Amino acid sequence: MPYKALLATAVLAAGVSGTAWFLSAENEGQFGWSDSVNHPPQPSATGMNRNSDSPGPDDSPSEPSDDALGFMLASVADEYQQTIRYPDYSVPLSAEQALAYQGNRYHPVELPLEDDGVFVVTLDKFRFTRGEPILVVASLSGRQVFGDSLAATLETASEQDRADSAELHATEETGYYQGNLSSDHEPGEYRLIVEARVDGRPVRHVSSLSIEPDLGEFNGIDSPYISGNDLVIPVQFDPENAGYYALTAQLYNGQRALAQLSAEDSLSGSSGTLLLRAHGSVLANRDVSGQLQLKNLQIRQMPARPGDRTHYAFGPDEGYEFSPPDLDRLRDEPAVNPESEQRAALLRQLADKF
């Protein structure tokens, strides 16, 4: 998980720097680096006369205080301890995180024009399954004079070979243009170029999109059940090709995001099941009522060989709604991960030294 990886990096950096400073401070006379930091060599009288601008003792770098270093390590230890309460396959979500984790959103690119004008191109998503139409909507605003149509071109990102082109026609709403491009091309990354004429001069707007192969079809979910301290949600996916797949989805109760769920497995036949699990630490003692929903399903076919692309597909926009089993059996207990517990204990030991 990206957040845990980032935190682990911070923990490692803090641990190494803190341990090194601690060892040097507690072992004066045994480590050469301690002497060089704490007792810089003094220049001789002859040297001082030859170079009167040499830095004095007050110019040497200062050591971090015990309180500051201990507070830093204690803060990292507390945050890490809180993070490892949750297993990698089931982490709690805030509303902001739920929005950020939605995997197939296109972020419109705004190109500024003179006199506070703006040239914007919008797509309904970033990744298109090969064969489905690409609806392009562009808008132009400002005091300039615009043409009656815009030219849209789709080209490969690497070789910049033209794959398709179309004309975007003005709509009934002033300043808006739309048209369709074909996505029936080799999967990969593509550039979308939309050209307008502004005050008689060409203006190019460039953005990007991705074309994905047809990975298969989602076929709903089987009846969820409780196993150990997990709510297990079986998701049916019929792959076009055998391979290793990774599935993510968001668990909701009404409009409230509860958790980000993930699962990975090898699918070898024409139909398969991936088991999403919501851990008790994200569901127990929560005010969960009525139906639950799985939203924003995203599946990835992992590369078979180094250098191959990861391919993406997405579940239905409406997601899946289901009646959960009795959730009272779940317990609000931290996940058990011996390696993570050892790291947390080491961080706490380091913090306690100060």
Residues 92, 97: Cα–Cα separation, whole Å = 9
Residues 139, 196: Cα–Cα separation, whole Å = 10
In sequence order, the 6+-apart residues with CB closer than 8 A to the CB of 319 are 249, 252, 293, 294, 295, 296, 297
- Superfamily per CATH, domain 115-212: Macroglobulin (MG2) domain (2.60.40.1930)
193: left (phi over 0), alpha (psi -120 to 50) or beta: beta
Identical fold between 115-212 and 216-329: yes
214 token code pair:
């047809």
Q: What is the DSSP letter of 58?
A: G
Q: Identify the pLDDT of residue 82.
A: 54
Q: Where are the domains of the chain?
A: 2-84, 115-212, 216-329
92 token code pair:
């709690």
Q: Identify the pLDDT of residue 16.
A: 39
Give, for all 354 residues of the chain, the pLDDT tens digit. Answer: 444 443 444 444 444 344 433 433 444 433 333 333 333 444 433 344 444 444 444 555 555 555 666 666 556 655 555 566 789 999 999 888 888 888 899 999 899 998 889 999 999 999 999 999 999 999 999 988 898 899 999 999 999 999 999 999 999 998 999 999 999 999 999 999 999 999 989 999 999 999 999 999 999 999 999 999 999 999 999 999 999 999 999 999 999 999 999 999 999 877 899 999 999 999 998 889 899 999 999 999 999 899 899 999 999 999 999 999 999 999 998 876 555 555 655 555 565 666
Burial of 28 (0-12, 13-18, 19+ CB in 10 A): exposed
Burial of 249 (0-12, 13-18, 19+ CB in 10 A): buried
Q: What is the DSSP letter of 84?
A: T
Fold for the domain defined by 216-329: Immunoglobulin-like (2.60.40)
Amino acid identity at 45: A
